[in-house]
Amino acid sequence: MAPRLQLEKAAWRWAETVRPEEVSQEHIETAYRIWLEPCIRGVCRRNCKGNPNCLVGIGEHIWLGEIDENSFHNIDDPNCERRKKNSFVGLTNLGATCYVNTFLQVWFLNLELRQALYLCPSTCSDYMLGDGIQEEKDYEPQTICEHLQYLFALLQNSNRRYIDPSGFVKALGLDTGQQQDAQEFSKLFMSLLEDTLSKQKNPDVRNIVQQQFCGEYAYVTVCNQCGRESKLLSKFYELELNIQGHKQLTDCISEFLKEEKLEGDNRYFCENCQSKQNATRKIRLLSLPCTLNLQLMRFVFDRQTGHKKKLNTYIGFSEILDMEPYVEHKGGSYVYELSAVLIHRGVSAYSGHYIAHVKDPQSGEWYKFNDEDIEKMEGKKLQLGIEEDLEPSKSQTRKPKCGKGTHCSRNAYMLVYRLQTQEKPNTTVQVPAFLQELVDRDNSKFEEWCIEMAEMRKQSVDKGKAKHEEVKELYQRLPAGAEPYEFVSLEWLQKWLDESTPTKPIDNHACLCSHDKLHPDKISIMKRISEYAADIFYSRYGGGPRLTVKALCKECVVERCRILRLKNQLNEDYKTVNNLLKAAVKGSDGFWVGKSSLRSWRQLALEQLDEQDGDAEQSNGKMNGSTLNKDESKEERKEEEELNFNEDILCPHGELCISENERRLVSKEAWSKLQQYFPKAPEFPSYKECCSQCKILEREGEENEALHKMIANEQKTSLPNLFQDKNRPCLSNWPEDTDVLYIVSQFFVEEWRKFVRKPTRCSPVSSVGNSALLCPHGGLMFTFASMTKEDSKLIALIWPSEWQMIQKLFVVDHVIKITRIEVGDVNPSETQYISEPKLCPECREGLLCQQQRDLREYTQATIYVHKVVDNKKVMKDSAPELNVSSSETEEDKEEAKPDGEKDPDFNQIMHAFSVAPFDQNLSIDGKILSDDCATLGTLGVIPESVILLKADEPIADYAAMDDVMQVCMPEEGFKGTGLLGH
């Protein structure tokens, strides 16, 4: 047993011998444990749990000793948000927009692009008034060019360490929480920017994208027979290089330009020869741009999984790249120098982080741009080693050795090279006046914020110093010693010592008992402090009530003493009652007690005493929250599961139950002992009569059971074949010995059989309800054909003899019969079946429509999928585990899906058959399922349907298709964004 618990038990040990009326002040203070473990300050290292005298370790250490001004506030130095001298400005990551930030920094450091954007006309002139900017509203760019202008101006001259690009991201409609394909973003944005700038009058602006990024190559096919060349010219803004199987960038470029032979089935149709001939095909570089973007195809599509994966292989590249060997026209200037390396850090194509290493074109120094953080490389050298070591590769490939001027990376996904020139870069890219005024205004707001933050820091420091003096003054006077004392909540003292929490008025109400005094069990969460310190606390912070020595509650201690004595006495009384129960009861002096109550009376008594002890924790209806919840749940559980003592022999009318098997007669002495613990228990002397109402009901119940048995036996005897379901008539094989059959609801038959089998448990069936088989107009809802097939489960056919008996035994609301009629004069040639009442065609049609609707509108069902290969169904001949859901799920009912998002999840089919969604050809009953926006129900796919799956086989070589331009569709992730708006 823990020492603290031992001392707490010792504090109440006197209660076993002291009567409640003998409790003294000494007993009260002992019960409150004030004398336990006097805390010796300087020796105690932590707060003594439950000791009201211990004032160590409650939060005072931060106020004692030397003053640290930084501990008096949680406000960062605003100067940390200020841009460092000769450094660049970062960009805030809005969630998953690091791929956008990397490209913005690369484009910003392209001085020609920045200069051209500054020359674009702007609607900012409408925002200006006279010589200044309208103060009452913020500037909002209207176009993509204006957003880039404003962003670049802030990146160039802002005083902030980083800026927020949310306006630009929002204008493009990008999802800030979804990581996208960075390479696809680059392509789409460049296309959008070129399309936007093409409308400008200034040629330096209109042609900037083509001048900086656009090159040209040709697909050249040469006939081996006649030597005729076929050229297809194409512009490019980046070269997409396959890296799989290569170690050097130059190898990737060589593969991109390698010659390909067209032979056999892949021969080329030559217009000159007018026949298919062997040929060669390759790509010729005709012209190269000033800025050469090399996309390393690190993210490739895996046809097996239907998803992209990342290639984590090392690729070597040099800082100087001579492209002359690769271009068709020699003699020009084709030497490039590395200007940017874009890195994807992570092993998955769908996660990770994007950063950019970019060379400052003015100083020649390298910088690492990582969203808000920008780091300058030492010695004007590109350093990739740190980035490469952060994500260990699964293959654990050893990094190749790199010579001087070369680098190796397994995370680089784009390399940017700039054409080498003898001219120095333009160092005078000036921000236009209207943009500079906007930047100045933003800088002014930033300076105001810095001043405000500095003032808040100063106020916090001043407040902290004042609190420090207060704590130093009061903490030494907190211990009470022998002087007058009071109790204060430990929680309040801790909050008073917590510099991050404003001090509120003292609130001691949670520690009060039902007598508005200090509860004995709450002493462990209180601290005993001097009256001097208490006077200062209440004068400065207010609150209450004040708990002096007079607040120690004698009533609670007396009640606790009584309960403890009762618990000790309970053990003795339990033995006494057991002995008394063994003796036989004499005469009529006994009392009836429930057998269940006798088995559990000791436990009930203990719980009752615990409840009384728990009630002492209440304070006029006010109680500690956790205790209240505990008691409430306990009370609810007790009401649901348990009865109070002797209530198990109460009948529903509150009298003695009639069943003697549930009760037992005990002696007067035993009942007297039990009544001490359960004074409110129901009392039934041995001469007490059982409940008269229950006796009447019992007799009536016995009579009803006998009556039900008699009715069931009579009906079973009258309708033996209907009960056994033997020799039943069938419409599809009409019996020869009758021309009339009657119809009743199958529901009636089932309910009647239940009653006949168990007449004492079920109520008798008194009527035949055939209205369920009729429409509101009184017409029959079923045809003769349907009653022989799908509707046969809803009806039961009755012989004429049985029908006469049914009419005698039951009340029939509607008579339904089928009559067979032979049509013909001499030799009957045709049989007709007439129903009474007749079929209602309109209601029958409505019923069929509703059945079809119910069949096609489902939330979850099993759909079977067969994969067809060579016109044979193979692999999974059934796939119930797919459980493809059509239309709406339960969650979809709560929130409707927008248009275009109701398509079934065929990714499950992809995982079951290894067929990607775009290679799936699905059909049912010869109908192709091609509408991705339709539900399964509207496509005619009902539960238990079989869908046929035929997979498109991959084309081995797209280059074999003559004179066909491969169209790259945009990533699905950018669907609906402004990148596709053009």
Contacts of 922 (CB under 8 A, 6+ apart): 906, 928, 929, 947, 948, 949
Tell me if residue 76 falls in helix, strand or coil: coil
User: CA-to-CA distance for 596 and 662, rounded, in angstroms?
Assistant: 8
Whether residue 545 has a cis bond before it, omega within 30° of 0: yes
Q: Which of 353, 357, 519, 866 is catalytic?
A: 353
DSSP code of residue 389 = H
> What burial letters (b/e) apply to 380-401, b meaning 16+ CB within 10 Å?
eebebeebbeebeeeeeeeeee
Report CA 954 to chain centroid distance, whole Å. Answer: 37
CA–CA separation, 148 and 118 (whole Å) = 9
Cα–Cα distance for residue pair 770/743, rounded to 1 Å: 8
**Chain-centre distance of CA 929, in angstroms?**
32
CA 360 to chain centre: 44
Strand partners, 821: 832
Q: Which of 894, 892, 905 is nearest to 932 (CA)?
A: 905
Distance between CA atoms of 162 and 410, rounded to whole angstroms? 29
The two beta strands, 90-91 and 162-163, are parallel
Q: Element (H or E) spanning 18, and its range?
A: none
Residue 895: is it exposed, middle or buried by C-beta count within 10 angstroms (0-12/13-18/19+)?
exposed
List, as one string, the DSSP characters of 487-543. EEEHHHHHHHH-TTSPPPPEE-GGGB-TTSSB-GGGGGGEEEEEHHHHHHHHHHH-E
- Specify burial of residue 258 (Cβ count, 10 A radius: 0-12, 13-18, 19+): exposed
Chain mean position to CA 587: 72
- List all residues 6 or more positions away from 890 whose beta carbon is below 8 Å from its beta carbon: 859
Distance between CA 372 and CA 855 in Å, rounded? 57
Query: Known catalytic residue: 98?
Result: yes
**Is 353 annotated in the active site?**
yes
108 with 208: CB under 8 angstroms?
Answer: no
**885: part of which helix (H) or strand (E)?**
none
Classified as helix, coil or strand, 940 is: coil
* CA 666 – CA 593 distance, rounded (Å): 7
Is residue 802 within 8 Å of 739, Cβ to Cβ?
A: no
Tokens of 124: 């900012």
Rounded to whole angstroms, what are the CA distances from 440 to 108, 154, 158? 19, 9, 8
Q: Which of 54, 98, 214, 408 is catalytic?
A: 98
CB environment 5-28: b (16+ within 10 A), e (fewer): eeebeebbebbeebeeeebeeebb
- Write out the catalytic residue numbers: 98, 353
